[in-house]
A and B are shown apart, each in its own frame.
Chain A
Amino acid sequence: MPIIEFRNLFKTYANQEGEEMNALENINLKVKDGEFVCILGPSGCGKSTLLEIAAGLLPPTKGEFLLDGTPRTGTSRDIGVVFQDSSLFPWRNIRKNLEFGLEIAGVDKGIRAQKVQEAIEMVGLSGFENKYPHQLSGGMRQRAGLARTLVNNPSCILMDEPFSAVDHLTRLTLQEEIVRIWQREKKTIIFITHDVSEAVYLATRIVVLTPRPGRIQKLFDVPFPQPRNRNDISFIEIIEKIYMCLNNPEGKDGKIEYTI
């Protein structure tokens, strides 16, 4: 049973001249329980808009967003969001930041502390509970941002380019960790990125969006079991196929055009 579904979804913005522009056009996508879907596309293709609609932060102009088969608008405790720059509150230490969702939900203090401790251990932040966000590195902040979402135990996690602000090596480690957490916790993850190899490393399915307006251009299944080998020949072949797809947004067949 698909737990998340976008049905004939449109999002229109008015630009400065007052003309209406489609940011998203006719998005139809079903995400099944436990899937890891990467949404891939160049910047400005409406990836983040799509995620904000799923998070309930933005209403679609037309079409529906369904959760477990029922249309819904607005946020849901069953959908967690990890933001691009982790968005931790600088006035709370890590433990307090992680507690935020439970505090809002009115969860008892003792249970709160226990769940936060579990999440801290899950993302490997033990020993940093009492630090403030500015005392942590970018990668650690991103772990904390992920843990803050995990604490609330949503069945689906939306991630908006969560690793785009960290250095390459940290990024690879974080990718491995997110896969480990996904396998262990059996979450459904929708992960937005513009990094093709990241998408191929992580996803069970990749959705390629076209730029302006954002339409679904192509879906790729990534059938390899986790953990994956980044140097595997079939792994690299999929990356190449996706690059071809991205370089031909009109859908024409052809080789990659190299321009240097």
Chain B
Amino acid sequence: MAKKQQKRKPKQPLWITFTQAAMIAALLLFVEFVVSRGYVNPIFLASPTQITNELLYMLEKNTLLPHLLITLQEAAVGYVIAAVTGISIGVLFVTFPKVEKLFTPFFAALMAIPKTAIMPLLIVWFGIGFRSKVVMVFLFCMFTVLFNTVSGAKQTKAEHLKVAKVFEANHAQIIFKILLPSALPSIFAGLRVTAATAITGVLFAEMVASRGGAGFLLSEAQQVLNTPELFLIIIIVTILSVLFVTFINFIEYIVCHNWRTM
């Protein structure tokens, strides 16, 4: 009973939904109108019809999905490595506070480097293919996950630690049964933020230098002034980004929808 009530959202009046839909439709119609009538230079704007046609064309020529697949692979591999590394180093830091003291300044300094500045160097080191993209995504994501893990574990309630001590839990048990579960909400917050960052990182890396991927398509379309394709890719990567965050939310829901921190 309680659970059902908690899930039910306050109902939105129908007219708000209706007006919102109408506003979007009006905007699309307006763009369609000004572009097709030639009021706006077609280099600056693409009409919905042009974008749809571009989508159909690219699907037909099979020039879209292979690139999206490359981007997805690069982002997913980099993200997973970043998440695993970030959480592992976080656990290490929580387990050995002296290690944390020793290394935190270095990690903080690395985190402070604007990642985009390292891209040329990454290309020198790893080439313009898959690996440099994965490393870029890794650098974009890892530090946030790491510091969220550590700060989450530090928010563990003192009372919970007392309970563990009273029951004579050992160091490993305290870490895995108390500190990490306490840190989970904070870890997921980090994972959620970096899910969107991962897409940003991979697109940037692909735009700088690559032979494929959504970022590659963007810079290619820009060079030949294919504005409909630019809009199409922007729409697609936005959807990708949203889907990625939704996926992380879904995992969080599976892991901890039953409990709430009190």
Contact = CB atoms under 8 A, between A and B. Distances in A.
B160 interface: yes
B166 interface: yes
A248 to B, nearest CB: 34
B168 A75 contact: yes
A191 to B, nearest CB: 16
Given A57-B166, A80-B166, A132 B259 contact: yes
Contact of A93 (B164, B258, B260): B258
Interface string A43-60: 000000000000111000
B159 A83 contact: yes
Contact of B259 (A80, A101, A103, A133): A133
Contact of B163 (A56, A79, A100, A103): A100
A169 interface: no
Contacts of A132: 258-260
A149 B182 CA distance: 21
A87 B169 CA distance: 16
B168 A85 contact: no
Contacts of B159: 83-85, 87
A190 interface: no
A40 B162 CA distance: 23
B157 A87 contact: yes
A142 interface: no
Nearest to B158: A87
A75 B163 CA distance: 11
Contacts of B2: 135
A134 interface: yes
Contacts of A79: 166
Interface in A78-95: 79-81, 83-85, 87, 89-93
Contacts of B165: 56-57, 75
B184 interface: yes
Given A83-B159, A83-B163, A104-B173, A90 B168 contact: no
A79 B169 CA distance: 14
A56 to B, nearest CB: 8
Contact of A89 (B160, B173, B260): B160
Q: How would you classify the secondary structure of chain A's contact residues: helix, strand, loop or mixed? A: loop
A192 to B, nearest CB: 15
Contacts, number: 64
B261 interface: yes
B167 interface: yes
A103 B157 CA distance: 20
A89 B260 CA distance: 10
B256 interface: yes
B129 interface: no
Interface string B147-167: 000000000010110111111
B23 to A, nearest CB: 40
A87 B167 contact: no
A109 to B, nearest CB: 16
B48 interface: no
B162 A57 contact: yes
B181 interface: yes
A193 to B, nearest CB: 18
A55 B166 CA distance: 7
Contact of B260 (A80, A81, A134): A134
B224 interface: no
A91 B167 contact: no
B183 to A, nearest CB: 11
Given A89-B160, A91-B181, A134 B168 contact: no
Among B165, B167, B259, max chain A CB count under 10 A is at B167
A152 interface: yes
Interface string B227-262: 000000000000000000000000000001011111
Contacts of B164: 104
A135 B181 CA distance: 19
A14 interface: no
A57 to B, nearest CB: 6
A104 B256 contact: no
B167 A105 contact: yes
A75 B157 CA distance: 19
A170 B160 CA distance: 24
A87 B260 contact: no
Nearest to A84: B159
A252 B52 CA distance: 93
5 contacts: A83-B162, A87-B162, A91-B184, A91-B256, A104-B168
Given A75-B166, A87-B163, A89-B163, 18 more contacts: A56-B166, A57-B165, A77-B168, A81-B162, A81-B166, A83-B163, A87-B157, A89-B181, A90-B259, A90-B261, A91-B182, A100-B177, A103-B177, A104-B167, A104-B177, A132-B259, A132-B260, A152-B167
